[in-house]
Amino acid sequence: MYQQELARSGAALFKVRGKYLISVIAIGAVIAFLSGAIGPFATPSANLAWFWVSLGIAVAGALIRVVTSGYAALGTSGNCKSEAVASELNTTGPYSLVRNPLYLGRILNFSGIAMLSGNWVYAALVFLISVLVYERISVYEEEFLRKEFGDAHAKWAQDVPFLLPRLRGWVKPKYPFWWRRCVLRENTKVFAVISVPILNHFARMGFDVGQLTELAGWFYFWVGVAAIELIVVNLRKFTKTFDAIS
């Protein structure tokens, strides 16, 4: 009964999961603006360490997603927002260490982004919410996979952990790395990880455009990354570069 309730709530959350990232970033920027601090500690050195740890966690989550999306079978782990889909059961590569690597990556990614606000309470809250949200979405997807793949899913689930990865048992990916699929799936998330530290620093400066000269190097770097993101978005909309890739 409890499992069914988790799956029902997970089905609802599955449809709106894409909006969560924007909320986490926006609230973090507001906190950075109001506090003006890069960390929760009293000393600059400790706060600087907090910043690098935060960025490391956010990047680690993004990398997990990049690797997972690149090696997953086509027709699985897609961008569909309405319901779970799977042309086959992913059991190799990252899926040989944890059954839900994309959501593990998302939890780490969101937690790191929240930490970059400089507020540990917000970071802890985002971590807990992320675990609750993606636990339920994972249960929903696993109910779908259990119905689709039966014994194959049961055998895989018996050996591979749900969200906390095991440290051994890596199985070589079944397919080569799909670069186009990886770009299609993760370009926006990678762009967000690059943008957040710059956005939060700008927020701590009071969004004062006149002080952008202090961020000139980082600003031009961000503009270059934004240009790449814009190119990818337009390739998706107006060309066949990413056709037949889910």
In tens, the pLDDT along 44-84 reads 999 999 999 999 999 999 999 999 999 988 777 655 555 67
Which pTM does this prediction carry?
A: 0.89
Mapping DSSP to helix (H, G, I), strand (E, B) and coil, where does residue 242 land? coil
CB 115 within 8 A of CB 41: no
Mean pLDDT rounded to a whole number for the chain: 88
For residues 146-154, give the mean pLDDT.
Answer: 90
What are the C-alpha distances in Å from 137 to residues 100, 205, 218? 10, 38, 36
State pLDDT tens for residues 151-180: 999 999 999 999 999 999 999 999 999 888
**Alpha-carbon gap, residue 188 to 25, rounded angstroms:** 13
CB atoms within 10 A of CB 179: 9
Which residue is it, tokens 């699985």? 76
3-state secondary structure of 83: coil
